[in-house]
């Protein structure tokens, strides 16, 4: 997949990981109303991520996204809630769009498998 940036231009090492990801535009008067997207990452780094989407996203759009890291990556499953900005939009085969976004802020929380923890995560 050509992402139009050479590896020596990157500040952070990339990890090719398919992680569940929920993405939505941050509330703004300027941003178009796009629904929350459930997708998975193509790769992740300390400074950003790349995912595939079927909807059109615009460079410069402020977004929020949640990543779920399973227990086999760490000691227990964790959720990472992030804020960032779309930095690249690259057409892909099959009409999909590759989207690169920065990670400007993040918060890590432990995920519990019981229903109450899932519900409280959705309400926050």
Contact between residue 6 and residue 14 where contact means Cβ atoms under 8 Å apart: no
CA distance 53 to 15: 19
Residue 64 lies in a domain: yes
| Both structure tokens of 108 | 């890590």
**Residue 33 — φ and ψ, nearest 5°?**
-80, 95
Q: Check residues 83 and 122 and name the one with the higher pLDDT.
A: 83
Neighbours of 1 (CB within 10 A): 11
Residue 89 lies in a domain: yes
| Structural domain range at position 99 | 12-123
Residue 6 lies in a domain: no
Mean pLDDT of 42-54: 91
Q: What is the CATH number of the domain that holds 34?
A: 2.40.10.220
Predicted pLDDT at 107: 93
pLDDT band at 12 (very low <50, low <70, confident <90, very high): confident
Contact between residue 35 and residue 24 where contact means Cβ atoms under 8 Å apart: yes
Taking CA atoms, 10 is separated from 14, 85, 118, in Å, by: 9, 16, 35
Predicted pLDDT at 114: 42
Look-up of token digits 């998975």? 40
For 87-98, how does the pLDDT look when each residue is reduced to its tens digit (9 = 90+)?
A: 999 999 888 999
Predicted pLDDT at 3: 46
| Both structure tokens of 87 | 């930095």
Task: Please report, rounded to a whole number, the percentage of residues in the chain having pLDDT higher than 90.
Answer: 44
Look-up of token digits 């940036």? 5
Report the predicted TM-score, pTM, of the whole model to 2 decimal places: 0.73
Q: In the predicted model, is pLDDT for residue 32 greater than 50?
A: yes
DSSP for residue 107: E
Predicted pLDDT at 74: 65
Could you give the number of structural domains in the chain? 1
Residue 28 lies in a domain: yes
Q: Check residues 32 and 5 and name the one with the higher pLDDT.
A: 32
Predicted pLDDT at 22: 93
């Amino acid at each position: 997949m050509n992402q139009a940036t050479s590896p020596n231009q990157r500040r952070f090492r990339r990890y090719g990981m398919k992680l569940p990801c929920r993405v939505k535009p941050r509330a703004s008067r300027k941003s178009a109303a796009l629904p929350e997207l459930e997708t998975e990452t193509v790769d992740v780094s300390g400074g950003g991520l790349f995912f595939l989407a079927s909807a059109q996203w615009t460079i410069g759009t402020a977004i929020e996204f949640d990543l779920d890291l399973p227990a086999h990556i760490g000691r227990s499953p964790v959720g990472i809630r992030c804020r960032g900005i779309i930095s690249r939009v690259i057409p892909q085969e099959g009409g999909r769009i590759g989207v690169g976004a920065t990670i400007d802020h993040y918060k890590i929380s432990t995920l519990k498998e019981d229903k109450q923890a899932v519900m409280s995560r959705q309400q926050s």
